[in-house]
Amino acid sequence: MVRVTGNFTSQSPLHPAANSLLLDAFGQGWADPAKIGDHSARTAILRNEAIESLASNLNLHPTELEVIGEPRLGQHLAISGLLNKSRELVHSEVDRRSVFAVGIDHQNNGGSTRVLKVNISGQVLCEGELPKSASSQSVLAIQGANIETGVTQEVDQVIDLLNPTFVALDYTAAANLKLPMRWDSAIFDATSWQGPAGIGILAIRNSVEWKNPLPNLGIRRTPESSSLPLLLASAVALDAWLAEEVIEQARLAKLNSEIRTALSAQELGITFAGTSNNSLAQTIALNVAGCVGEDLVRQLNEAGYVLDSGSACTAAQMQPSHVLSAMGIKSEGNLRITLHHGVTDAEVKELIAAITSVVLKSR
């Protein structure tokens, strides 16, 4: 068995603070908080405390927050809840495939969808794109950062230039992104702050215009079928992760820059997606010319380093990246590096050496 020296994939273990709580949470959070009884009353208190904690840390009001048990359903809920046949959907070519699916479905049902280009740095291009006219309405779906490349968007600027009627945010890549001045719905994923998988946060600021797009007979905005223990763990994980991020963000940004500089100096034919200045501190996406990403990942794994490759938003992870292609970057030799809280300088230096060695061996 290969000893894993470093985990540089997008996945990470549950935050220790949440892990220590989880067993107790399952012991206390089993009762339906909507029912009458002591156990249910206690569960309701725990749920309300978790909701208030999450809302505070995400800069939301508790009444805006809905918990969903399937985070990947979040893009559909956030966007489709603002759509109707007369509203144009506008999104970029680097959005997640679930957003493309919403756009295609909108077109199939008689609506209009417009896909915006991006430049080589992954920034949405608004030049030449007309803002909405006084008589038309549009929904802009925009990501705060790309989950695959880490490239961040100037969200306020894009909103100002396009002037959409409604804005649906995808903030699933990171928990510490600043919300824009204007937005109507947003989606977050607990795994972005080392919370448990299976918890998404749907934020609805415009409750007048947003309508539940799922078949429903009542006034519920979501199915309300998420796990309460996982919700409690998510709240604790976010609280702890943000406290660490105050120190870790600057350190990870420095390591991010060091990786880019060191690998560029080796002249390995590497192209980076975005720069350290317009990307999340924890994410690096690159392409190695003349190599196959899957082969590089396999060799690095044998050396004890676990990385990602291929598209970040498909079931078949080794499929070519539509994000890199949109940025004009070849994706055959695609690697993705995620720097987690606690990664050491020594581990990063060893990773750089391992990538250099594997690439040279693959040529």
Q: What domains can be seen in the chain, in order of their start residue?
A: 6-13+246-362 (3.90.1150.10), 16-239 (3.40.640.10)
pLDDT of residue 260: 98
- In this structure, the number of other CB atoms found within 10 A of the CB of residue 113 comes to 20
For residue 355, the surrounding DSSP H or E stretch is helix 345-362
Residue 127 in contact with residue 152, Cβ under 8 Å?
Answer: no
Looking up tokens 């604790």, which residue turns up? 236
Which of 87, 103, 83 is closest to 95 using CA atoms? 103
Q: In what order do the strands lie in the sheet with 87-92?
A: 65-68, 200-204, 185-189, 166-170, 137-143, 87-92, 113-116
pLDDT of residue 318: 40
- Can you read off the two tokens belonging to residue 172? 């699933």
CA–CA separation, 208 vs 115, rounded Å? Answer: 27
pLDDT of residue 27: 61
Residues of the chain under the 70 pLDDT cut: 1-5, 23, 25-41, 128, 130-135, 310-320
**Crossing angle for the helix pair 228-265 and 16-28, to the nearest 10 degrees:** 160
DSSP state for residue 133 in the 8-state scheme: P
Q: Percent of the chain at pLDDT above 70? A: 88
pTM for the full predicted model:
0.90
Q: 264 forms bridges with which residues in the sheet? A: none
Tell me the C-alpha to C-alpha distance, in Å, between residue 110 and each of 19, 78, 337: 47, 20, 41
Indicate the residue type of 129: E
SS3 content of the chain, % helix, strand, coil (to 5): 40, 15, 45
Tell me the C-alpha to C-alpha distance, in Å, between residue 104 and each of 90, 291, 326: 12, 34, 18
